[in-house]
Chain A
Amino acid sequence: MGEMILEVRHLSKTFGSNQVLRDIDFTVDKGDVISIIGASGSGKSTLLRCINLLETPTSGEILYHGQNVAGRGINPSAYRSRVGMVFQSFNLFNNMTVLENCMVGQIKVLKKNRDAARRSAMDYLEKVGMAPYINAKPRQISGGQKQRVAIARALAMDPEVLLFDEPTSALDPEMVGEVLTVMQALATEGMTMLVVTHEMAFARDVSTHVVYMNQGVICEEGTPAEVFGNPQRQETKDFLSRFRNA
């Protein structure tokens, strides 16, 4: 077992009278690549957003190295800089170039100087294959390229965990590949990742652990071989059979 980074305990989230997450428990160890799969509306994205405190959990605890970050009066900024997030809709800063997007967090949050920030931004942009585009504005590049820049921006903060919220769902099929390639390379290097995805092949082949969510609860979890090869619950079987035939 690797070192435990995150532990989610009894997490619940309601929007009005609609209970989206019910009593979620799970842990993230160093080096894990956890895929969260499930139908739309099953609470996958909300879970991820709660972990990054973009949504405030209604109840429950999120322990980061043993310290609860979900309580009152805790400044979430420092914690968020250690937990990177990649969004479905990219959310690159439209007023900055590709390079500036990857530098601004390092300069403003990590207080690095411009040279150091530029160097590490270039390293990560190189890694995702976006080094040629450093001077482009987000509106001038394609969706797949935007997502790669968003990954570089998250990596440039040197996070301990990277959260991916359906990173390929807003992309044309031909652009999905370039983003998955980058994610797979990260997984191979040992990055700790939490991926909400509809890419079953990615979940099966790259992740170390698969979580199947259904109606706000974790319905089944295990290794990809267990969940995909021998699902125990009827809901999981039904869900997976839809992809098998596709």
Chain B
Amino acid sequence: MEKLVKLGQDMILLWDNYGAAYLSGIVNTVILAVVATVIGCIIGLACGILNTIPYSPQDHAAKRTLLKVVRAIVRIYVEVFRGTPMVLQAVFIYYGLPYFTDGRVAFSGNSGIWLASIIVVSINTGAYMAESVRGGIISIDPGQTEGAMAIGMTHVQTMTNVILPQAIRNIIPQIGNNLIINIKDTSVMFIISFTEFFAWHRYIVGVNNMYFPSAAIEMIGYLTMTLIASFLLRLVEKLMDGSDSYELVQTDPLTMTAGTYNYPDRGTPFDERSKEYRERTKESLKNRNGSTRGER
């Protein structure tokens, strides 16, 4: 109990001295995570769509070759960035650019660090999202595509009006996953001296050695951010699903009880009045507009 009180006092002490620093770290973390998730989703969407363009042996050879090359490139991108640690990718890109250009082009200054961080996290998110989007698209019933094709929609129209709205709805949980992962994993960007939430922890404990109280503040901070993120994403999902109920404008005249359907020209065993009506229907069916096949 004593220890908890002590921890509380230490945390308050830290917050009094470095509150502004922690808050600016939180702000940077959130901005980086949100921006990179959005860009990453756009990259993932583009890759996922490119990967699911159908082609058949009937298509032009050039189109088939192009699609195969595009798929190969996307595949390499996904495998490379999914298969290496983000912290290494950050070093690789941040120091690689000046290395290859002999220092003429570099991520210089604060804006350079921001740019490099956003690029690294976006590309990473994009690699994961590419697979999620592909999964989202192929999980949609092929009947949806056929329905759209049957009313004359082109592939692009089918995608934008029918498939993608449903696929995106299905991958929203995956986008949420990525946002939360990004909020946490942007912490590795301290390696290129990006001052997010965790970087401030490293700086502050370097000054006063209060490792545990600062870590406690960090834990609470990250958990708060991720909880708010999950809550907001649930809200988005709910809004996308729309209302569960609908209003009837009037009653449905065609629904009937089992077994009550009758063919007008034969009637049911129960109605005697319909003999004349049946004859009339038969005549009208026979003399329909333009059809003469019945008499042939």
Contacts and interface: CB of A to CB of B under 8 A. Distances in A.
15 contacts: A31-B290, A31-B293, A33-B291, A76-B149, A104-B162, A105-B153, A130-B252, A135-B247, A136-B246, A142-B255, A173-B259, A177-B256, A184-B264, A188-B285, A190-B289
A224 to B, nearest CB: 8
Contacts of A128: 254
A4 to B, nearest CB: 12
B265 to A, nearest CB: 6
A92 to B, nearest CB: 7
Contact of A77 (B147, B152, B284, B292): B152
Contacts of A24: none
Interface string B194-212: 0000000000000000000
Interface of A: 1-3, 29-33, 52, 54, 56, 72, 76-82, 84-85, 87, 89-95, 97, 104-105, 108-109, 128-137, 140, 142, 144-145, 148, 150, 153-154, 157, 173-174, 176-178, 180-182, 184, 187-190, 201-202, 205-206, 208-209, 223
Given A95-B165, A178-B255, A77 B154 contact: yes
B289 A93 contact: no
A29 B161 contact: no
Contacts of A89: 143
Nearest to B262: A177
A187 B288 contact: yes
Contacts of A142: 255
Interface in B161-206: 161-162, 165-166, 169
B149 A80 contact: yes
A132 B249 contact: yes
Contacts of A150: 147
B166 to A, nearest CB: 5
A184 B246 CA distance: 29
B243 to A, nearest CB: 9
Contact of A174 (B157, B250, B258, B294): B258
Nearest to B150: A85
A153 B150 CA distance: 10
B9 interface: no
A141 to B, nearest CB: 9
Contact of B249 (A72, A91, A131): A131
A40 B235 CA distance: 47
A177 to B, nearest CB: 3
Interface string B258-296: 111101111000000000000000001100111111101
A181 B261 CA distance: 8
Q: Which one of A3, A33, A94 has the greatest number of beta carbons of chain B within 10 Å?
A: A94
A89 B144 CA distance: 10
A223 B292 CA distance: 11
B277 to A, nearest CB: 14
B54 interface: no
Contacts of A29: 290-291, 293
A2 B165 CA distance: 43
A144 B215 CA distance: 61
Contacts of A93: 144, 147-148, 161-162
B257 interface: yes
Given A104-B161, A223-B296, A133 B291 contact: no
B253 interface: yes
Contact of A80 (B143, B151, B253, B265): B151
A111 B122 CA distance: 38
Complex A-B, nearest 10 residue pairs according to Cβ-Cβ distance, in ascending order: A81-B152, A177-B261, A91-B147, A31-B291, A31-B290, A190-B289, A174-B258, A105-B151, A129-B254, A85-B150
A1 B296 CA distance: 9
A42 to B, nearest CB: 21
Contacts of B228: none
Interface string B20-63: 00000000000000000000000000000000000010100000
